[in-house]
Amino acid sequence: MIRSELVQSIAEQNPHLTLKDVERIVATVFDEISDALAEGRRVELRGFGAFSTRAREARTGRNPRTGAAVDVNAKRVPYFKPGKELRERLND
């Protein structure tokens, strides 16, 4: 599912909301999650899962085309851990 499909689905389930309102709600939710992760905070949605960040150390990688060594800087990457209800729903 892509973002526009999510917006359309929510709009269909909530006919009292306009499409613009639903788009603004979805954008706000995603922005808040992104902002929290950028600040290093954890975002937990009960029953769905938890978003957090993990640190990756600097390392030496390889260019797949040439095989030359390439320095890869340290960085933080997003991480998602599914909640119990989501795991159970996927495995039923």
Range 88-92 average pLDDT = 91
Q: pLDDT tier at 75 (50, 70, 90 boundaries)?
A: very high
C-alpha closest to that of 23 among 1, 2, 8, 45: 8
Average pLDDT over the chain, rounded to an integer: 96
Range 46-55 average pLDDT = 96
Question: Number of C-alpha atoms within 13 angstroms, CB side, residue 35?
Answer: 6
Do the Cβ atoms of 17 and 33 come closer than 8 Å? no
Spell out the domain ranges in the chain.
3-90
pTM over 0.85? The answer is no
CATH number of 3-90: 4.10.520.10
